[in-house]
Amino acid sequence: MKKDKPRILEKRRSTSPGGKSASRVAGQQTAQEILSQPATWLETARLFEQNAELDKTFVKLSPDEPWLFVACGSSYYLSRTIAAQWAKLLRVACTAVPASEFLFAPDEVLRRSDARQVVLVSRSGKTTEVLRAAEWLKANTAVRTLGVTCSNDSVLQDLCTHVLKLPWADEKSMVMTRSFTSILLLFERLGAKFVGDSELVSALDALPEKTVAWLAANADKIRAFGTKRRYADFVFLGQGAHYWLAQEAALKMTEMSSSYAQSYHTLEFRHGPKSIASRDTLITFFLSDAAAQEESLLVGELKKLGASIFVVANRATPALRRDADLLIELGLDEPEYARLALATIPAQLLGLAVGLRKGLNPDVPKNLTRAVVLGSKNGAAAKRRSA
C-alpha cells in the first residue's frame, strides 16, 4: 500500500495553549491520524473477520428488530450516519439521539424507537451523558446494550451487556477522524453481513487500497485550497446519509479551526440560508447519487451569487467542473453505501488546513477536551422509574 506520503502540513512549530512552544509541528498528530485511515480500516476489517468474539456479540443482536443509537458530538453524527444507512439496508427502524435527548425523556425515546437493543457510541467511553444513559438503561430496562468505544478499559463497558472495542482506531488528537470512519466501516461491514450482501463486503474490502491512491492524488489539493485564502464562514450541504457527513464536517471545521460553520440538507439551503451566500462564504457540497442532478443546479445558482464552492462528488461533470472552485472526485465504482467513509476525509483535511492557516493547532483546539466529563451537579440524570 506504499505511496508517496501526501504533504498536508506546512512545517510550523506549534504553541500549546500555555504559549510554550510545543515540541511538535502544529497539527502533526491530526495529520498523521487522517493519513492513517486506510491502514486503520484494514486493521478493523482484519480483526472483525478474525474475531469470533464479534460473531458472538452480534448473534445476540437482531437485524430484524429496531435499533436505537445514543451518543454525543462526532459520535452522534457517526451514529446518525450508521442509522441512515442501516434503515435502508436492513429495512428496519434505526434511529439515533444525542445522549442528552435520551436522558430527559428516556421512556418517550424508547417508546418512539420501539428499540430493544441500544448502541451507545463513545470513543473515550467516558462521556458523562452517555454513561448516564447506559446506567439508566441498566437500572430500568431489560434492553440489550452494545457499548462501542476506542478505549481499552472504560466505565462504558462495565455498564453495557455487550461491548465492541477499537483501541487501534483511537486518536491522540482531540478531534475524531479515524475513529469516526473506522467505527462507521465496522458497522457498514456488519450491516452487509447481516443481509448477506457479499458484493457490499467486497466493496468495503476494496476501500483502503483505493483511499491510499485517493489521498496521494487529492490531499495536497485540499490543503492548498484551504490555505490559499481566508473565508468568513463555512456551510456544508448533504442529502440523505450525506446530511450527517455535512453535520460532522461542520463540527470538524469548528473544532479544528474555531470557525463558524453551518450544515443543512442540500436543497433546504434555498429556503432562507441562501441569503448568506457571498465570496467570503465557502459552501461545500457532498453530492449524493439520488439528488446529484438537482444538487448540481444549486451549485450553479450559488456560483452565480458569487459564493466560493467546494464540491465532493463521486464523478465530475462538465457543469461541476465549470462551477466549482475546487472539485474533488471520489472516483469509485463501489455503491454509495461503501463510499461514505472516504467522503468523510475531505472535510477533515479542509478543517486541518484552515486551522493551520489561522495559526491554530488542530491537535489541541481551544476550549475543548477529548471527552466531556460532567460533575454530579451538572444536569439531573434521568430519574429512576418509580417502583
Nearer to ligand F1P, 127 or 296 (CB): 127
Q: Which of 175, 190, 282, 338 is close enough to bind ligand F1P by CB under 6 A?
A: 175
Q: Which of 29, 40, 75, 154 is close enough to bind ligand F1P by CB under 6 A?
A: 75
Residue 144 DSSP SS3: strand
- Residue 135, interface with ligand F1P (CB under 6 A)? no
- Residue 123, interface with ligand F1P (CB under 6 A)? yes
In the complex, residue closest to ligand F1P by CB: 73
Nearer to ligand F1P, 76 or 337 (CB): 76
Of 139, 144, 164, 140, the C-alpha closest to 154 is 164
Exposure b/e, 107-120, CB count within 10 A at least 16 = b: eebbeebebbbbbb
d(C-alpha 52, C-alpha 55), whole Å: 5
Hey, which bits of 185-329 come out as E strands?
A: 233-238, 261-265, 281-286, 308-313, 326-329
- Residue 164, interface with ligand F1P (CB under 6 A)? no
Measured distance between the N- and C-terminal CA atoms of the chain, rounded to whole angstroms = 58
With contacts defined by CB under 6 A, name the span among 69-77, 136-144, 350-358, 375-383 that binds ligand F1P.
Answer: 69-77
Residue 329 DSSP SS3: strand
Q: Which of 74, 177, 257, 361 is close enough to bind ligand F1P by CB under 6 A?
A: 74
Q: Which of 176, 324, 330, 349 is close enough to bind ligand F1P by CB under 6 A?
A: 176
Q: Which of 124, 173, 177, 314 is close enough to bind ligand F1P by CB under 6 A?
A: 124
d(C-alpha 121, C-alpha 117), whole Å: 13
Q: For residue 306, what are the contacts with CB-CB under 8 A and spacing of at least 6?
A: 277, 278, 279
- Residue 165, interface with ligand F1P (CB under 6 A)? no
Of 263, 226, 216, the C-alpha closest to 360 is 226
Q: Which of 6, 38, 73, 98 is close enough to bind ligand F1P by CB under 6 A?
A: 73
Of 253, 224, 193, the C-alpha closest to 328 is 224
Q: Which of 68, 163, 352, 371 is close enough to bind ligand F1P by CB under 6 A?
A: 371
**Residues 85/77, Cβ–Cβ less than 8 Å:** no
Q: How far is the CB of 252 from ligand F1P (least distance, A)?
A: 9
Nearer to ligand F1P, 26 or 71 (CB): 71
- Residue 79, interface with ligand F1P (CB under 6 A)? no
Of 269, 266, 231, the C-alpha closest to 358 is 231
- Residue 370, interface with ligand F1P (CB under 6 A)? yes
Q: Which of residues 255-294 bind ligand F1P (CB under 6 A)?
A: 255
- Residue 145, interface with ligand F1P (CB under 6 A)? no
Q: How far is the CB of 76 from ligand F1P (least distance, A)?
A: 7
Nearer to ligand F1P, 148 or 324 (CB): 148
Count interface residues toward ligand F1P (CB under 6 A): 17
What is the crossing angle of helices 198-228 and 340-357, to 10°? Answer: 20
**Cell, residue 364:** 489541541
- Residue 161, interface with ligand F1P (CB under 6 A)? no
d(C-alpha 366, C-alpha 355), whole Å: 11
Contact code string over 304-343 relative to ligand F1P, x by CB under 6 A: ----------------------------------------
- Residue 372, interface with ligand F1P (CB under 6 A)? yes
Of 345, 368, 307, 282, the C-alpha closest to 72 is 368
The site for ligand F1P (CB under 6 A) is made up of: 72-75, 122-124, 127, 130, 174-176, 255, 368, 370-372
